[in-house]
Amino acid sequence: MDNLCRQAARNLAAVRQHQPLVHNITNLVVMNVTANALLAVGASPVMAHARDEVEEMVGLARALVLNIGTLTKDWVDAMLLAARRANALGRPVVLDPVGAGATALRTRTAHRIMDETTVTVIRGNASEILALDQGNAATRGVDSAHGVADAAASADRLARDRGTVVAVTGATDLVTDGAREVRIANGHPLMGRITGSGCTATALVAAFLAVDPDPLSATATALAFFGLAGERAAASASAPGSFQVALLDALYTLSPEALEKGSRFE
């Protein structure tokens, strides 16, 4: 795991050096949150969901995020257009299946994106990953009703069947490509008490994918970075409000050297 610790440091340094543009078609709740997180880490965010411009914008970006948290028909169409263009250009695509399993629209849309395009990484909570694999897992709205261990077999199967990397985030994150598996023990319980922590993790995965050609490595190291930033933020915050501000500061100040030392991979 020492290699992953070193790769985490290299990836963070590369994001800050190259400042990759990350195209987000994401939900209304988290646009500001994830844009600020990407800026803090050193990437360049753009939020563009109009059908008339998404293909053009993907051509400028180094990675694409598809987040189904607040869906409309037009946004679904835009996601498919953007993903197809990203596939044609060889850009990585990250799918965040927010609330899959909660409603038929969310579950159907996530499956449609997976069926009609090539997704590089799927990042979700345990209930969302179970819903994508089994189709019958319930969620509490957009919150998980299951633990990471409950979704481990589904994550492996989904990764193998879809030829993708699957990340299940929770107390200990799990990342798998169906053959390799990494667990990340970084993080803090306050991360689950603020809006958009999962969506932020997805956006950071996209930023790391823009500089690391190995999707499993990029995903695992991005999650370690986010988790360690959460630990540092919690050291100076006592409640969710102060934690949210401290987390943004930690994303900005966490150094590659500190990330290499503090990443906990299993």
pLDDT in tens, 71-87: 999 999 999 999 999 99
| 104-118, 137-151, 245-259: the lowest-pLDDT one | 137-151
Q: Classify the C-alpha dihedral 245-93-124-266 as positive or negative.
A: negative
pLDDT of residue 139: 52
Distance of CA 162 to the CA centre of its chain: 17
pLDDT at residue 125 is higher than 90: yes
pLDDT of residue 138: 52
The pairs formed by 153-157 with CB atoms below 8 angstroms and a separation of 24 or more are 154/129, 154/130, 155/129, 156/181, 157/133
Average pLDDT, the chain: 95
Give the homologous superfamily in CATH for domain 2-262: Ribokinase (3.40.1190.20)
Question: Letter for the amino acid at 146?
Answer: H
